Amino acid sequence: MRAWTWINERTGAGKIWEALFARKIPEAKGWVAWLYTLGSASLFVFTIQAVTGALLAMNYVPSPDHAHDSIRFIESQVFLGSFIRGLHHWGATFMVVLVALHMLRVYFMAAYKYPREATWLVGVVLFLLVMGFSFTGYLLPWDQKAYWATMVGANIAGQAPALGSYLAKILKGGEDLGAATLARFYSLHVLVLPMTIAVAILAHLFLVVWHGISEPPLKESNKGD
Q: Which is nearer to ligand HEM, 64 or 216 (CB)?
A: 216
- Angstrom distance (rounded) from CA 129 to CA 40: 17
The closest of 196, 183, 181 to 127, measured between CA atoms, is: 196
Confirm or reject binding of residue 26 to another protein (CB under 8 A).
yes
Per CB under 6 A, 138 contacts ligand HEM: no
At its nearest, how many Å lie between ligand HEM and the CB of residue 14? 23
Residue window 205-224: x/- pattern of binding to another protein, with contact defined by CB under 8 A? -------x-xx-xxx--xxx
Among 120, 143, 196, 203, binds ligand HEM (CB under 6 A): 120
Rank residues 58 and 110 by Cβ distance to another protein and give the closer one.
110
Site for another protein contains 12 (CB under 8 A): no
Residues 13-72 that bind ligand HEM (CB under 6 A): 36, 38-40, 42-43, 46
Give the total of residues touching another protein (CB under 8 A): 88
Site for another protein in 160-179 (CB under 8 A): 160-161, 164, 176-178
User: Which amino acid is located at 99 in the chain?
Assistant: V
Helix axes 117-139, 179-187, angle to 10 degrees: 150
**Are the C-beta atoms of residues 116 and 124 closer than 8 Å to each other?**
no
Q: For residue 65, what are the contacts with CB-CB under 8 A and spacing of at least 6?
A: none
- Sorted by sequence, the CB contacts under 8 Å of residue 145 that are 6+ apart come out as 138
Considering only residues 141 to 160 of the shown chain, the ones binding another protein according to CB under 8 A are 141-149, 151-152, 155-157, 159-160
Q: CA-CA distance, 104 to 40, in Å (whole number)?
A: 15
